[in-house]
Every structure is written in C-alpha cells, then in structure tokens.
Amino acid sequence: MRLAILGYRGIGYVRPMAEGLSRMLSGLGVEHRVFWSSLRLLGRPSARFKRLAKEWLSRPLLAQLKNYSAVVVVQHMRDAFRRSLAIDELRQALPNTPIVLYDLDYLPTVGLWGPWLGADENFEAVHGIDRYDWYLCVSSIGRCPMPDGFNPCTQIGVHLDDGSLYPNQNGRFLALIDFERTNHLKERRLQIEALQEARTEFLVLKGRYSMQDIRRIYRQCSVYFLAHMESFGLPICELQACGSHVFTPYVSWCDAHRLGRHDAPLPANFVCYRNDKDFLVEQLRRIKAAASPAVVVRRFQESHPHFFRGDPDSLRGFLDKLERHEIDSQAHRGYAEISRRIPVRPED
C-alpha cells in the first residue's frame, strides 16, 4: 500500500497535520509521500491563462498520483468543500483511487457548516459528505453529537510531537492572548483588564509568525486566552504540550476538546471563567500561585494522548479498510443521505 498526502507548507494547520500524518504512517511502516504545494495546484484560478498554466503545471503531479493506493487531502472546512478545490477534476484523473479528507473535525458534528453545503452558490460550497470517499479527523467530538447510523469517519487524532513542543518558562509566568477577532472585542477587553488587575504579564498575538517563531512563544507561556469559538484548536494542543493552561470565556468555544462526548466537561487544564472578570482574576491568581508546567503537560497527555502523538491503532483500522477494499473510489456515492442528516447548530 502507498498513500499520497496532499498539503502545503504555508502558515496554518495544514503543515503540522500533514507532517504528523507522515510520522504516524512511518511508525506503522506504510509507504507514503507528502506532495507539498499540491493543494495550490488543485485550486481553480478564474483567469483563463492562469487556469491553463495551472493545468499544465498539475500534469506531473496527477501522473505521479496514479501510482498510489489512495490520496489523502489535508484541508479544513470550509476550504475542503469549496468548488475552488478541484476534487472533481482529481477524480476524473484518478477514477480508481479513493480520495480521503483529513480534517480537524468531522462535518456532521460541527453543525454550523451543514446548511451551507450545496445550498448557497455565493458561498461556493459543493456537495456534502459525498465529496470524499472517507474522512479522517483529529476530533469527532463537536457541537453536535455524531449522527445516528453509519458514518464514514475515523478519528486518528494528530501527531504534533516533533520535538519543538515543551515547557521553557524559566520561572516566568506569561499569558498569551490569541489574535484579535473583531466580533469578540468585549471578551478581549475583559481579558486584558483582568490580567492587569492580577498583575500578570501578557503578550498579544499580532501579524504572522512562522511555525518555529510561534512555537518559541508557546514554550514561554503559562496561560492561553482564546479569542473566538474554535471548531478544533491546534494551538490549544500545542500550548498544553508546552505547559500552558487554556482560558475560555465560554465552554462552547472548546467543544472539540471535551472529554469523550459532545456534552462532557473539559479537561482539568481548561478554565472557563464565564466571561466574569472577578472570577477570572481569582483563577489567574490561583494558577499563578501553583504554576507547574510539568503538571499541565502530564494532564494533557493523560486526557488527550491522541492530540499529541495521534492514534495509530485507529489509523491502522482505516488502512485495513483500504486494503480490504471496503473504501474505494466509488464509496462517496452512498453518502448523500448522511449530508441530509447534518444538524443545524443549536443556539448558544
């Protein structure tokens, strides 16, 4: 068996997910290759001359992909379901090759995206669950429970342990505030006011950072503040691996990190302060007084080991399905009914 992984090295979640999947496959002895920049070649430029140039550049890639047992696309909704990601063209070039999506979460459990798929041309969405032949996800826990019945999904977690995630606070207690979201400025103001009242040093993320630079910051931090709702937050995992607690004003902002069920509590490393400044100040002082990055790391690896080194057993189960041809290039045709079972996100 040979697997092709399609990704890119740009800033964001695709690179660490693709690299982590490569590490998991290597650990299982599975032959594979990551085709960097391949997702960009699959995009659909609007201008005709650009389209023709991209088609010419993509020919060598498509020729190589014919030699693989399956193609794994590393991407996240909404981009994974946009028309601009030319999955239909990929199918035409590889009619006998299963096409699998490796996403942070599984679409039916997120809820919010469901009604948009295939229903809003302005959103440029296409298909639903029937776009891919199988789904691999980091977390299958989301805002909504897993739909009843069959689901073409395997939760394999994510392998982030590349040697760059570890505590390096050196006795300093630093809080990190996530990138600004204009629709949640009220929550941000409360965070800053509480940090100032608790006499806690803090850093606010701005601009763009390379993976090396952002992880250097993560290693120095003891507290991380969310800025908005995450469908799944890789930084939440990376910061815990570096010894940082996760502070959120609302539990719903971290649904994918709950313990085992969509309605279960969050792990001990999380502090939900209910957007209450006095309670937040109290919790900051409590955490600072007993700061222990090693304890945070241990809790993270106990509660969510598959969010740090992946779940090789589950990945092996997916590979067995491929080998038995239970997943093939026509599997997606039977998934339309699942798309109709995707719930609308419940109200906050």
Percent of the chain with pLDDT over 90: 70
Q: Do 275 and 334 fall within a single domain?
A: no
Q: Do 300 and 324 fall within a single domain?
A: no
Q: Do 7 and 41 fall within a single domain?
A: yes
70 found inside a domain? yes
CATH code for the domain in which residue 71 is found: 3.40.50.2300
So what's the pLDDT on residue 342? 62
Query: How many whole angstroms separate alpha carbon 104 and alpha carbon 113?
Result: 14
Query: How many whole angstroms separate alpha carbon 48 and alpha carbon 58?
Result: 15
Please determine, for residue 331, whether its predicted confidence score (pLDDT) is greater than 60: yes
Please give the helix or strand (H or E) that residue 153 lies within, else none. strand 153-155
348 found inside a domain? no
**β-strand 99-105 against 70-74: which pairing, if any?**
parallel
Please determine, for residue 52, whether its predicted confidence score (pLDDT) is greater than 70: no
Q: Do 35 and 152 fall within a single domain?
A: yes
Non-local (6+) Cβ contacts of 177 within 8 A are 188, 191, 192, 202, 203, 204, 205, 225, 227
Range of the domain at 226: 174-307
CATH code for the domain in which residue 228 is found: 3.40.50.2000
164 found inside a domain? no
Q: Phi and psi (nearest 5°) for 124?
A: 60, 30
Q: Do 149 and 229 fall within a single domain?
A: no
Please determine, for residue 45, whether its predicted confidence score (pLDDT) is greater than 80: no
Q: Do 132 and 224 fall within a single domain?
A: no
So what's the pLDDT on residue 46? 52
Please determine, for residue 62, whether its predicted confidence score (pLDDT) is greater than 90: no
**Mean pLDDT for the stretch of residues 127-135:** 89
Q: Do 321 and 188 fall within a single domain?
A: no
Contact 267, 257 (CB under 8 A): yes
169 found inside a domain? no
- Find the largest Cα–Cα distance for the chain: 62
Q: Do 209 and 88 fall within a single domain?
A: no
What pTM did the predictor assign?
Answer: 0.92
Q: Do 178 and 117 fall within a single domain?
A: no
So what's the pLDDT on residue 193? 98
209 found inside a domain? yes
Q: Do 57 and 81 fall within a single domain?
A: yes
Please determine, for residue 70, whether its predicted confidence score (pLDDT) is greater than 60: yes
224 found inside a domain? yes
Please determine, for residue 145, whether its predicted confidence score (pLDDT) is greater than 60: yes
Q: Do 46 and 179 fall within a single domain?
A: no
So what's the pLDDT on residue 348? 36
Give 346's pLDDT tier (boundaries 50, 70, 90).
very low
Please determine, for residue 169, whether its predicted confidence score (pLDDT) is greater than 70: yes
167 found inside a domain? no
Number of domains in the chain: 2
146 found inside a domain? yes
Q: Do 203 and 292 fall within a single domain?
A: yes
